[in-house]
């Protein structure tokens, strides 16, 4: 089983979108028994909460369900148990690098590193308008396809 954890700041906008979209892409590819998907936040500010309603609505408009996701903070056990710990932006990556044991540091990457895109970060949409949420969804869909291609070649 290959385990993928998506990480952002609050775990209510970007990483739950990646969690729901990527789980959908994995299921469509018939790989749900080979790839496990999860998400978490570096902050813990929204522990136990549903994804942001704007993210849920935008995802639903595109056919993805995020209602099964509850926000949680990255836990020390994640560094041991996960295989891929994928940050949405450089700040998230830096925060993860500060708390990740050295022997697991190779698991940390920017999510969009796998995609051939002109951008390498999924921008935080929280304080912006609807455009930001649409952009998150589009980037996450593209990033998910690229990540799945990578994983298919490297399945454990």
Shortest approach of ligand 4NP to residue 90 CB, angstroms?
13
Q: Is 129 helix (H, G, I), strand (E, B) or coil?
A: coil
Q: Confirm or reject binding of residue 8 to ligand 4NP (CB under 6 A).
A: yes
**Between the CA of residue 43 and those of 99, 108, 128, 143, 156, what are the distances in Å?**
12, 17, 19, 23, 30
Whether 40 contacts 82, CB under 8 Å: no
Restricted to residues 32-91, the positions that interact with ligand 4NP (CB under 6 A) are 45
Q: Which residue among the candidates 13, 14, 78, 100 is catalytic per the annotation?
A: 14
124 given a catalytic annotation: yes
Q: How many residues bind ligand 4NP (CB under 6 A)?
A: 10
14 given a catalytic annotation: yes
Q: Confirm or reject binding of residue 9 to ligand 4NP (CB under 6 A).
A: yes
Element spanning 7, H or E:
strand 2-8
70 given a catalytic annotation: no
Nearest to 133 by CA among 43, 27, 51: 51
Q: Which residue among the candidates 8, 38, 52, 100 is catalytic per the annotation?
A: 8
Binding site for ligand 4NP (CB under 6 A): 8-14, 45, 124, 126
């Amino acid at each position: 089983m290959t385990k993928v954890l998506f990480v952002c700041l609050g775990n209510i906008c970007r990483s739950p979108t990646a969690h729901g979209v990527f789980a959908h892409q994995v299921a469509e590819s018939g790989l749900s028994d080979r790839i496990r998907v999860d998400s978490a936040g570096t902050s813990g500010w929204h522990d136990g909460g549903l994804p942001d309603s704007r993210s849920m609505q935008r995802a639903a408009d595109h056919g993805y369900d995020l209602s099964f996701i509850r926000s949680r903070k990255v836990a020390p056990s994640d560094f041991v148990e996960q295989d891929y710990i994928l940050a949405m932006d450089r700040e998230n990556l830096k925060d993860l690098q500060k708390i990740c044991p050295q022997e697991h540091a190779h698991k940390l990457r920017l999510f969009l590193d796998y995609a051939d895109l002109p951008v390498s970060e999924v921008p935080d949409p929280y304080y912006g308008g609807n455009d930001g949420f649409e952009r998150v969804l589009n980037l996450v869909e593209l990033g998910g396809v690229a990540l799945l291609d990578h994983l298919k070649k490297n399945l454990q």
